[in-house]
Amino acid sequence: MIDLKHLPNHERGEEAILFLRRHWITVLSLAFTGVALLMVPILAYILMRTLGWDLMGNPVTGAIASLLLSSYLLLVLVILMTQYTDYYLDTWIVTNHRIINIELMGLFSRTISELRLNQVQDVTSETIGILPTFLTYGNVYIQTAGTRERFNFKNVDNPEDVKRVILDLSNQEKRRSGDASLMMTPPPVA
């Protein structure tokens, strides 16, 4: 279950309706990257054997090669961990009151932005490409009135369903608390 207490401005009676991350294909591509990076020292070893370089035959070159290999493996682990942390912490939460966008930019920068559901003016879902069509993932764009930047849900699963849920929740919230998207519309230019 999602623990919303860690979120800022947690409201009484607020419930998480959708909890979204990027599609699992992102994790799969990360796994492929990991395998490819782990293949590099194996291929290098095979190449050296083919060329007749026996690094491990000499104690000094063997030690240096082992240190380089160890450093490389540690580096690969850190890269994979950082990428996965980035995937894991980039989340979009739709509650019965608002939409929250949490983005981790590198390890030292985190952005949380939120949008009231009654400010939503337009929701667009987009699925482009062969793989996204077969695996049903894509982007969802949420537009509000005014100059505010739109919210982008990138590569989420079932973008059509997400769009429908957001529109339903937005309509409910507008009936309950008034349509803030109309109040925010800038006046027409004469």
Interaction site with another protein (CB under 8 A) = 1-4, 6-7, 19, 53, 58-64, 66-67, 69-71, 73-75, 77-78, 81-82, 84-85, 88-89, 91, 93, 102, 104, 107, 110
Least separation in angstroms between residue 29's CB and another protein is 18
Helix, strand, or coil (residue 43) = helix
Q: Between 34 and 132, whose beta carbon lies closer to another protein?
A: 34
Give the nearest distance from C-beta 141 to another protein in angstroms.
23
Question: 6 or 12: whose CB is closer to another protein?
Answer: 6
Cα–Cα nearest to 19, from 2, 6, 37: 2
CB of 149 to another protein, least distance (A): 22
Residue (89 or 182) nearer to another protein, CB: 89
What is the Cα–Cα distance from 143 to 26, expressed in whole angstroms? 25
Chain centroid offset of residue 28 CA = 13
CB of 20 to another protein, least distance (A): 12
Closest CA to 119 of 56, 176, 173: 173
Bridge partners, residue 137, by sequence: 157
**CA nearest neighbour of 21 among 190, 166, 137, 175:** 137
Q: Using the minimum distance from each CB to another protein, give the nearer residue, 63 or 182.
A: 63
